């Protein structure tokens, strides 16, 4: 995907009402060549008020790369529930990764930043059978302990269903537990629509008051390290927007504009994207 096309898409997305756009991943350029243009991308964006253009990284050097760009920096920490996925995704054990968060927190401090967010990867299970969603609390607690020891206290916790294992009942069970245990924290979801339950999981979480979800335009994406051929993208942004608006939850996003972006993304990647609303269109209501 040429950098110029990515920029065209990002700049179009920024005009839809989205307030937070994750634009680039500062990860190993050799292992993930698709994302090797992170710096160039970050330089090319047409920055505008009221939109945070952010990026991702998995270690200190990735963060330092991001810091050298004009991107908005969201200082986050992360833990893996699956050890096997940790090794494949970040070349270290889940425990090594956990201890390594201290290094990341120190880098944030040097940059004058305060940790605000924590991600729990494979929170609902992994293809390797080594992540138990019943122990999601344990993974969160360990990460919060590491944070506390470094004087950091993230207020927002994203639970990531990295491989689409979650179902509405599991979402409810896990969220009920962690939201009760840490009532002072906000919980959010990073969902993949790998088995078609993406929006069902959103609906279950909406009911519990969750209001932040990661999503990708057209459902674009996947993960090369998830250990499965059918790995699919995040839940689809415009399908999510449509469902929320239909359920009376205002998103501030222009549905027509974001559907246009999905068509643009589909043309850029050159194959059909899994999003549904981009083909089906708006829902026509009976005027009262």
Hey, which residues are catalytic here?
Answer: 223
Q: Is 77 in the site for its own copies (CB under 8 A)?
A: no
Sequence-distant (≥ 6) Cβ neighbours of residue 186 within 8 angstroms: 155, 156, 157, 212
Pick from 55, 75, 154, 164 the residue near its own copies by CB under 8 A.
164
- Tokens describing residue 90: 């970040």
Query: Helix 255-269 crosses helix 3-13 at what angle (to 10 degrees)?
Result: 170
Tell me how far, at minimum, the Cβ of 233 lies from its own copies, in Å: 11
Q: How far, CA to CA in Å, does 203 sit from each of 89, 122, 243, 259?
A: 29, 20, 9, 21
Pick from 13, 202, 258, 261 the residue near its own copies by CB under 8 A.
202
Q: Is the Cβ–Cβ distance between 138 and 92 less than 8 Å?
A: no
Q: Is 247 in the site for its own copies (CB under 8 A)?
A: yes
Q: Is 199 in the site for its own copies (CB under 8 A)?
A: yes
Q: How far is CA 158 from the centre of its chain?
A: 8
Pick from 37, 127, 214, 266 the residue near its own copies by CB under 8 A.
127
Q: Is 129 in the site for its own copies (CB under 8 A)?
A: yes
Pick from 55, 62, 75, 125 the residue near its own copies by CB under 8 A.
125
Task: State whether residue 64 is helix, strand or coil.
Answer: helix
Beta-strand runs (E) in 113-191:
117-121, 156-161, 186-191
Tell me how far, at minimum, the Cβ of 20 lies from its own copies, in Å: 21
Pick from 113, 203, 257, 269 the residue near its own copies by CB under 8 A.
203
Closest CA to 118 of 131, 108, 128: 108
Comparison of 104 and 255: residue with beta carbon closer to its own copies: 255
Pick from 178, 189, 197, 220 the residue near its own copies by CB under 8 A.
197
Q: How far, CA to CA in Å, does 199 sit from each of 134, 154, 233, 265, 275?
A: 22, 27, 13, 21, 12
| Residue range at the interface with its own copies (CB under 8 A); choices 15-23, 47-55, 106-114, 200-208 | 200-208
Query: Helix 136-149 crosses helix 168-181 at what angle (to 10 degrees)?
Result: 40
Q: Is 161 in the site for its own copies (CB under 8 A)?
A: no
- Tokens 């939850």 locate to 249
Tell me how far, at minimum, the Cβ of 267 lies from its own copies, in Å: 17
Pick from 64, 87, 128, 179 the residue near its own copies by CB under 8 A.
128
C-alpha–C-alpha distance, residues 189 and 171, integer Å: 9
- Tokens 């998995």 locate to 58
Q: Is 10 in the site for its own copies (CB under 8 A)?
A: no
Pick from 55, 62, 154, 198 the residue near its own copies by CB under 8 A.
198
Comparison of 56 and 194: residue with beta carbon closer to its own copies: 194
Q: Is 86 in the site for its own copies (CB under 8 A)?
A: no
Tell me how far, at minimum, the Cβ of 252 lies from its own copies, in Å: 18
Residues that bind its own copies (CB under 8 A): 125-132, 164-165, 167-170, 193-200, 202-204, 228-232, 236, 239, 242-243, 246-248, 272, 274-277, 279-281, 283-287
């Amino acid at each position: 995907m040429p950098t110029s096309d990515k920029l065209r898409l990002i700049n179009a997305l920024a005009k839809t009402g989205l307030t937070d756009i994750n634009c680039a991943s500062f990860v190993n350029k050799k292992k993930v060549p698709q994302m090797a243009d992170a710096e160039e991308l970050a330089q090319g964006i047409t920055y505008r008020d009221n939109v945070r253009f952010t990026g991702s990284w998995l270690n200190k050097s990735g963060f330092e790369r991001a810091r050298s760009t004009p991107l908005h920096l969201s200082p986050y920490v992360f833990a893996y529930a699956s050890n096997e996925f940790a090794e494949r995704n970040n070349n270290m054990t889940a425990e090594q990764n956990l201890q390594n968060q201290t290094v990341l927190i120190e880098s944030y401090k040097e940059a004058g930043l305060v940790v605000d967010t924590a991600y729990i990867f494979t929170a609902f299970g992994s293809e390797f059978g080594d992540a138990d969603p019943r122990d999601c609390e344990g993974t969160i607690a360990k990460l919060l302990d590491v944070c506390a020891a470094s004087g950091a206290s993230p207020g927002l916790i994203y639970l990531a269903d990295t491989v689409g294992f979650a179902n509405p009942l599991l979402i409810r069970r896990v969220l009920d537990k962690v939201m009760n245990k840490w009532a002072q924290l906000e919980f959010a979801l990073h969902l993949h629509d790998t088995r078609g339950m993406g929006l069902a999981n959103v609906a279950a979480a909406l009911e519990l008051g969750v209001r932040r979800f990661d999503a990708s335009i057209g459902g674009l994406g996947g993960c090369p390290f998830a250990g499965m051929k059918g790995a699919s993208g995040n839940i689809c942004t415009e399908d999510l927007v449509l469902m929320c608006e239909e359920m009376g939850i205002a998103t501030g996003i222009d549905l027509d504009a974001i559907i246009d972006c999905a068509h643009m993304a589909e043309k850029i990647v050159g194959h059909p994207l899994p999003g549904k609303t981009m083909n089906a269109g708006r829902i026509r209501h009976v005027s009262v």
